[in-house]
Amino acid sequence: MPQPIVAIVGRPNVGKSTFFNKLIGERRAIVEDLPGTTRDRLYGQTDWRGRTFTIVDTAGILPGEEDPNNAPMAEIIRATRAQVQLAIDEADAIIFMVDVKDGITAADQEVAEMLRATNKPVILAVNKADSLSRAQEAVEFWNLGLGEPIPISAYHGTGTGDVLDALYQALPPFEDTPEEEYALKIAIVGRPNVGKSSLLNRLLGEERVVVSDIPGTTRDSIDTVVEYNNQKILLIDTAGIRRRGRIERGIERYSVLRALRAIERADVVLLMVDATEGVTAQDAHIAGMILDAHKGIAVLVNKWDAVEKTNETFEQYTRHVRAALNFIPYAPLLFISAKTGQRVDKIIDLALEIQGERNTRIPTSKLNAILRDAVRDHPPAAIHKTAHLRIYYATQVQVAPPVFLFFTNAAEEIHFSYKRYLENRIRAEYPFVGTPIILVFRNRDEERS
Q: Are 263 and 387 members of one domain?
A: no
Q: Are 396 and 426 members of one domain?
A: yes
Q: Are 346 and 369 members of one domain?
A: no
* CA 351 to the chain's CA centroid: 20
Q: What is the pLDDT of residues 380-424, one digit of tens each?
A: 987 776 678 999 999 999 999 999 999 999 999 999 999 999 999
Q: Give the pairing type, strands 222-228 and 209-215.
A: antiparallel
DSSP for 92-152 reads SEEEEEEETTT-S-HHHHHHHHHHHTS-S-EEEEEE---SHHHHHHGGGGGGGSSS-EEE-
Note whether residue 178 is domain-resident. Answer: no
Helix axes 347-358, 196-205, angle to 10 degrees: 100
Is 252's pLDDT higher than 50?
Answer: no
Note whether residue 374 is domain-resident. Answer: yes
DSSP for 70-96 reads -HHHHHHHHHHHHHHHHHHHH-SEEEE
Question: Can you give the pLDDT at residue 217?
Answer: 35
Q: Give the pairing type, strands 209-215 and 403-408.
A: unpaired
Q: Are 321 and 434 members of one domain?
A: no
Beta bridge partners of residue 57, listed in sequence order: 8, 42
Is 78's pLDDT higher than 80?
Answer: no
Largest CA distance in the chain: 73
Residue 329's pLDDT band (boundaries 50, 70, 90)? very high
Domain that residue 313 falls in: 184-358
CATH number at residue 231: 3.40.50.300
Question: Can you give the pLDDT at residue 201?
Answer: 82
Q: Are 284 and 370 members of one domain?
A: no
Note whether residue 248 is domain-resident. Answer: yes
Q: Are 131 and 259 members of one domain?
A: no
Q: What is the pLDDT of residues 161-213, one digit of tens each?
A: 999 999 999 887 766 656 678 999 999 988 877 888 788 888 887 433 344 44
The pLDDT > 90 percentage for the chain reads: 51
Q: Are 325 and 412 members of one domain?
A: no
Nearest to 4 by CA among 41, 57, 47, 61: 47
DSSP state of 383: S
Residue 12's pLDDT band (boundaries 50, 70, 90)? confident
Nearest to 394 by CA among 411, 370, 418: 370
Cis peptide before 401 (omega within 30 of 0): yes
Residue 27's pLDDT band (boundaries 50, 70, 90)? low
Nearest to 275 by CA among 323, 196, 337, 322: 337
Asked which of 302, 323, 358 is the last residue of a domain, the reply is 358
| Least confident window among 138-142, 192-196, 257-261, 375-379 | 257-261
CB 254 within 8 A of CB 195: no
Structural domains in the chain (count): 3
pTM (two decimals): 0.70
Give start and end residues of each alpha helix (H) in 309-415.
313-324, 347-358, 364-377
* CA 223 to the chain's CA centroid: 19
Is 221's pLDDT higher than 60?
Answer: no
Q: Is the dihedral of CA 232, 238, 244, 246 positive or negative?
A: positive
Q: Are 354 and 369 members of one domain?
A: no
Which H or E run contains 417?
A: helix 416-429
Nearest to 342 by CA among 334, 333, 330: 334
Is 34's pLDDT higher than 60?
Answer: no
DSSP for 184-238 reads EEEEEEESTTSSHHHHHHHHHHSS-EEEEEEE-SSTT-EEEEEEETTEEEEEEPS
CB 325 within 8 A of CB 284: yes
Dist. CA 299–CA 342, nearest whole Å:
15
Q: Are 87 and 17 members of one domain?
A: yes
Q: Are 273 and 136 members of one domain?
A: no
Asked which of 170, 203, 218 is the last residue of a domain, the reply is 170
